[in-house]
Amino acid sequence: MLRRLTIRDFVIVDRLELDFAAGFGALTGETGAGKSILLDALGLALGGRAETGVVRTGQERADITAEFDLPELEGLSAWLADEALDANEGLVILRRVVDAGGRSRAWINGTSVTLAQLRTAGEWLADIHGQHAHHALLRAEAQRELLDAHAGARAAALEVARCHREWQALVTLRREAEADSASSARERELLAWQLRELEGLSFDAGEWDELNAEHSRLAHAAGLMEGADETLAALGEGDHAVCSVLRHLDSRVASLADIDAGLADVRELLSAAAIQADEALHALRRYRDRLDLDPQRLAEVEHRISTVMDAARKYRVAPDELPELMGRWRERLATLEARSDPARLEKAEGEARLRLERAAENLSALRRPAALALSTEITDAMQTLAMVGGRFEVALEPCPPAAHGAEVVEFRVAANPGQTLRSLAKVASGGELSRIGLAIQVLTSRDSATPTLIFDEVDVGIGGRVAEIVGKLLARLGRERQVLCVTHLPQVAACADWQWRIAKTERGGQTLSEVTPLGREERVEEIARMLGGVNITATTREHAAEMLGQR
């Protein structure tokens, strides 16, 4: 759950440090006081989009830090470990800094991360439902995703989408083969001829370096022989040969070192030099024995180089790129040959289609009971939300297997008794849509493992007894999760376990937002204000106290 939120210089907030409690918490206050600003700041810490204008006027940057208890979610713990972002003392700390130009930086547990990493962690920790979230339910894609989440079928839906892509790729391959059979045959013939020509070279990338090295050696053989002979003479021939001189000096200094130990280092150096000179002499003799003028071999190497260069020029690549070119041609030829076999293509396509059908049926088997259960739950909720006799149905209309499965998911509603079920997008009024949408959000929030649920004025468009029922729904949800709700409705606020008042204040000529945790008597005053507006009477206070007493 969310433990602490620290905000610096964000919109009209200068400095806030808020410690959160478990259960259902209500954030109340006058319109424009900054209630939603707190949730916007939290949204940034969770990886939301940073826009220009969020930094408080006159400041360089906004800084938001959110501290969460590490939830008992194996997936999150494993992800943090994989990313080297291990939690410290059971906390996950998200931080976001946005400068006045809109650029931002992010950290998790003190380590700099990308925005994508911050967003991934945020999705594990909190879920924000905006005040217009119910409008998303009018989209078929949103309805399908919500059902799959309720059914625990997200992995199955992804598998269907993968199988569909695989099948479509094979369908496209077969159609291209049928349309381009003549041109494919000509291309296959040309590629096969070119491959035979290059394969006849028996050339690989390593040979090119070897050829050039051998050519350089053969072309300069006379100079190499002359230099080797001269060096051999200097090292090992005559009384003044280097090796002989070094051996003599080594022996002489060795006898002197027996007298004066101070010459031991000099003796070691001379001894090492004599040994190395002897090794050089033997190595050079072996090299000279192998070295010989070989005009025939030089001609062979030059012919080989010329042949490779001709092939490289012909196909417009560097000589050492010829093997890579052959590899690309082989891959292309294999693709064309696969296309040239209609039976093979049809078989592969059929097998992919069968895999898609099996995956789609598996998804349907998960969706059907979940659709029935969700239909029943939303219908029951409608009876308490001023839509007695109304019905809700998650309809599954069969269709050929597609990327989304083997059925079209559609939310249907009949708001009044006797009405025919019709698409939610076509029949629900604004108020009805708000109530149905809220019921869906509250009921389906249980499907998520997210420990903190945030509702930003989702109760717009309702009031009276319905508002009280909504408050009780949120309170019930608060017994399972941490629930935060920005609300203008006293009936909802009265159901909360704890309440904060957000208000504007002026300090130093600036308008700022401040947050006040409310005790019992202060909650009575705040709920009385929400009930009665400017003029709060004793009757209003009694009503507010009564509402709180009924929690």
Exposure string of 418-449, with b = 16+ CB inside 10 Å and e = fewer, is: eeebeebbebbeebbbbbbbbbbbbbbbeeee
104-134 pLDDT, tens digit each: 899 999 899 999 999 988 888 888 776 555 5
The predicted-structure confidence for 374-427, as pLDDT tens digits, reads as follows: 999 999 888 887 788 889 999 999 999 999 999 999 999 888 888 888 888 776
- Among 338, 369, 403, the domain-final residue is 338
**pLDDT per residue as tens digits for the range 158-192:** 999 999 999 998 888 777 776 666 566 777 778 88
Q: Are residues 82 and 95 in the same domain?
A: yes
Q: Is position 414 within any domain? A: no
User: What pLDDT score was predicted for residue 219?
Assistant: 66
pLDDT of residue 64: 93
Is residue 504 included in any domain, yes or no? yes
pLDDT digits (tens, 9 = 90+) for 252-299: 888 888 888 888 888 888 888 888 888 888 888 877 776 665 667 777
**Predicted local distance difference test score (pLDDT) of residue 449:** 67
> Would you state the pLDDT for residue 446?
66
Q: What's the distance, Cα to Cα, between the start and end of the chain in Å?
A: 23
Note whether residue 144 is domain-resident. no
Are the C-beta atoms of residues 518 and 542 closer than 8 Å to each other? no
Range of the domain at 534: 519-551
229 shares its domain with 325: yes
Residue 155 lies in a domain: no
Which long-range contacts does 356-360 make (Cβ < 8 Å, 24+ apart)?
356/160, 356/163, 356/164, 356/166, 356/167, 356/401, 357/401, 357/406, 359/156, 359/159, 359/160, 359/163, 360/160, 360/163, 360/401, 360/405, 360/406
Q: In terms of domains, do 124 and 257 share one? A: no
In a domain, 192, yes or no: yes
Do 200 and 92 lie in a common domain? no
Whether residue 220 is found in the same domain as residue 95: no
Last residue of a domain, one of 338, 360, 392: 338
Task: Please tell me whether residues 260 and 333 are part of one structural domain.
Answer: yes
What pLDDT, on the 0 to 100 scale, is given for residue 339? 64
What's the structural domain count of the chain? 3
Residues contacting residue 385 through CB under 8 Å, at least 6 positions apart:
435, 436, 438, 439, 462, 466, 469, 470
- Domain shared by 227 and 332, yes or no: yes
How large is the average pLDDT for residues 476-481? 85
Does some domain include residue 438? no
Q: What is the pLDDT of residue 551?
A: 60
**How high does pLDDT run on average in the chain?**
83
| 490 falls within a domain | yes
- The span from the CA of 491 to the CA of 434, in Å, is 17
pLDDT of 155 reads 92
Confidence of residue 454 (pLDDT cuts 50, 70, 90): confident
Write down the pTM of the prediction.
Answer: 0.59
Q: How far apart are CA 72 and CA 88, in angstroms?
A: 14
**Strand, coil or helix: what is 159?**
helix
Cα 488 to Cα 494: distance, rounded to the nearest angstrom: 11
> Is there a single domain that holds both residue 243 and residue 107?
no
Same domain, yes or no: 2 and 28: yes
How many Cβ atoms are within 10 Å of 313's Cβ, its own excluded? 10
Q: Clarify whether residues 192 and 318 are in a common domain.
A: yes
Q: How confident is the model at residue 461 (pLDDT cuts 50, 70, 90)?
A: low
Q: Is residue 352 part of a domain?
A: no
Look up the CATH number of the domain holding residue 113. Answer: 3.40.50.300
Phi, psi for residue 499 in degrees, rounded to 5: -145, 140
* 512 and 523 housed in the same domain: no
Residues 115 and 199 placed together within one structural domain of the fold = no
The DSSP element (H or E) to which 466 belongs, if any, is helix 464-478
The answer, yes or no, to whether residue 31 has pLDDT greater than 80, is no
Distance CA 512, CA 504 (A): 6
Reference 474, options 136, 22, 69, 23; nearest CA is: 23
- Strand-pairing partners, residue 510, are 507
Euclidean distance between CA atoms 214 and 384, whole angstroms: 92
- Among 338, 370, 402, residue at a domain's last position: 338
Both tokens of residue 106? 């992010």
